[in-house]
Structure 1
Amino acid sequence: MIKNIVISFEEQKEESRGSVEFQVFSFTNKIRRLTSHLELHRKDYLSQRGLRKILGKRQRLLAYLSKKNRVRYKELINQLNIRELKTR
């Protein structure tokens, strides 16, 4: 399923790099890559800091998308298999 998502996003890559969906997709890939790195290198504190920064950026983008277009937000989190935002 993830490969299908990658292919569909890469097909749209040239025309929509600035879209919120593409940015969330690329942040999710970075998060998964850093998470697997941190499983091996537990004391890599600089990578932990980078992971927290990327998580915050993705969270802000998802909050923006959920306010602007709830349907696109739901589709995106279902495609990427990520949890919904906690609302206050």
Structure 2
Amino acid sequence: MIKNSFIPVISQKKEEENPGSVEFQVFNFTNKIQRLTSHLELHRKDYSSQRGLRKILAKRKRLLSYLSKKNIIRYNKLINKLVLNFNKPFF
């Protein structure tokens, strides 16, 4: 499994300097989610990985809701950079 194949490029120095920032954490969680989903496409019955994926999704969701409450401008920038579309229908 290739670890760095899904990493989108974020060009802000502020995020690179502060690994504790919400944006950096969401960025890392997004990369982990992409890696786990590609893993689960091959190994559908890996229930441990499914549980880990659900935990990471919940952490990312909590961080994004925190950021949307604290600073909506940073939230919108992050969503646009990571191309996350939460209002997309699932059908």
Query: What band does the TM-score fall into relative to the shorter chain?
Result: 0.7 to 0.9
1:52 to partner: Cα distance: 0.1
Amino acid at match of 2:57: L
1:61 aligned onto 2:48: no
Kept in 2, the 8 Å contact 1:27–1:58? The answer is: yes
Count of aligned pairs? 81
Which residue matches 1:25? Answer: 27
Picking from 4, 11, 35, the partner of 2:9 is 4
TM-score norm. by structure 1 comes to 0.83
Amino acid at match of 2:63: L
Kept in 2, the 8 Å contact 1:9–1:22? The answer is: no
Kept in 2, the 8 Å contact 1:38–1:44? The answer is: yes
Identity %: 69
TM-score norm. by structure 2 comes to 0.80
Provide structure 2 residue ranges, at least 5 long, that are not aligned to the other structure. 1-6
Which residue matches 1:71? Answer: 73
The structure carrying a bigger helix percent of its residues is 1
RMSD: 1.9
> Taking structure 1 as reference, are residues 84 and 74 closer, same or farther at Cα in structure 2, changes over 3 Å only?
farther
